[in-house]
């Protein structure tokens, strides 16, 4: 499978928390509840979680690059 990279636009993130609720292995949050990327290079087997998190971000702050 192709390597997947996560890019987060922290200016767009407003802290809904869907990404770290849906993909806790890939995302965490800061003290304001805004997203932090734990693994910018998605580990094997977690691509589906990355895609789910990106698809569910209401601010479209998460971009995936294959």
Angle, CA 44 vertex, CA 47 and CA 14 arms, to 5°: 40
pLDDT (tens digit per residue) in 46-59: 999 999 999 999 99
Give the per-residue pLDDT at 42: 97
Average pLDDT of the residues of the chain: 96
Q: Distance between CA atoms of 56 and 1, rounded to whole angstroms?
A: 22
Whether residue 2 has pLDDT greater than 80: no
Residue 15 vs residues 45, 54, 60: alpha-carbon distances, Å: 26, 14, 12
Q: Considering its fold, how many domains does the chain have in total?
A: 1
Residue range 33-60: average pLDDT? 97
* Residues of the domain holding 52: 5-65
Q: Distance between CA atoms of 23 and 65, rounded to whole angstroms?
A: 17
Residue range 33-39: average pLDDT? 97
Give the per-residue pLDDT at 1: 46
- Domain with residue 26: its CATH number is 3.30.70.20
């Amino acid at each position: 499978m192709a390597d997947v990279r996560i890019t987060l636009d922290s200016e767009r993130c407003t802290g809904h928390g869907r990404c770290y609720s849906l993909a806790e292995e890939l995302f965490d949050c800061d003290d304001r509840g805004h997203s932090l990327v734990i693994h910018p290079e998605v580990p094997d087997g977690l691509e589906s979680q990355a895609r789910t998190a990106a698809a569910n971000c209401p601010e479209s702050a998460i971009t995936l690059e294959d």
